[in-house]
């Protein structure tokens, strides 16, 4: 059975706008790197556009919305399945 989640329209719209920006911007940055530009432009984009805090806000919005439906324990189980970057091996 499919469940539905009610979310604030303004929050959901803002989330979509941010995701659209990230996808388009990362595509552009990676294309420029592929064309030979200095890879540090990726770091420049991440820092100048405040991606870490903006992504954390997006995660909080989605997480809070999910938690109301599936509960904190189920949300934590999902979070534990993440394959996070660990650096070079």
Read off the pLDDT of each residue in 30-56 and give the average, rounded to a whole number: 98
Residue 51 lies in domain: 15-78
Q: How many domains does the chain have?
A: 1
What is the SS3 assignment for 21? helix
pTM: 0.84
The conformation of residue 33, written as its DSSP 8-state character, comes to H
pLDDT of residue 1: 65
Tell whether 6 is covered by a domain.
no
pLDDT above 90 coverage of the chain, percent: 82
Please indicate, yes or no, if residue 27 is contained in any of the structural domains: yes
Q: Please choose, from the candidates 22, 15, 19, the residue with its C-alpha nearest in 3D space to the C-alpha of residue 66.
A: 15
Is 54 within the bounds of a domain?
yes
Residue 47 forms part of a structural domain: yes
Q: Would residue 57 count as lying in a domain?
A: yes
Asked if residue 3 belongs to a domain, the reply is no
Q: Note whether 45 and 51 are within 8 A (CB).
A: yes
Is residue 22 domain-resident?
Answer: yes
Residue range 17-36, pLDDT digits in tens = 999 999 999 999 999 999 99
If you write DSSP's letter for every residue of 43-73 in order, what string do you get?
Answer: HHHHHHTTHHHHHHHHHHHHHHHHHHHH-HH
Instruction: Please tell me the predicted confidence (pLDDT) of residue 58.
Output: 96
* Confidence tier at 44 by pLDDT (50, 70, 90): very high
């Amino acid at each position: 059975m499919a469940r539905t989640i009610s979310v604030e329209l303004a929050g959901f719209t803002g989330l979509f706008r941010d995701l659209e920006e990230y996808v388009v911007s990362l595509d552009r940055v990676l294309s420029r790197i592929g064309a030979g530009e200095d890879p540090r432009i990726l770091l420049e984009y991440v820092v100048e556009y405040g991606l870490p805090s903006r992504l954390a806000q997006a995660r909080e919005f989605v997480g809070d919305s999910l938690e109301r439906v599936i509960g904190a324990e189920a949300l934590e189980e999902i979070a534990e399945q993440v394959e996070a970057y660990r650096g070079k091996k």
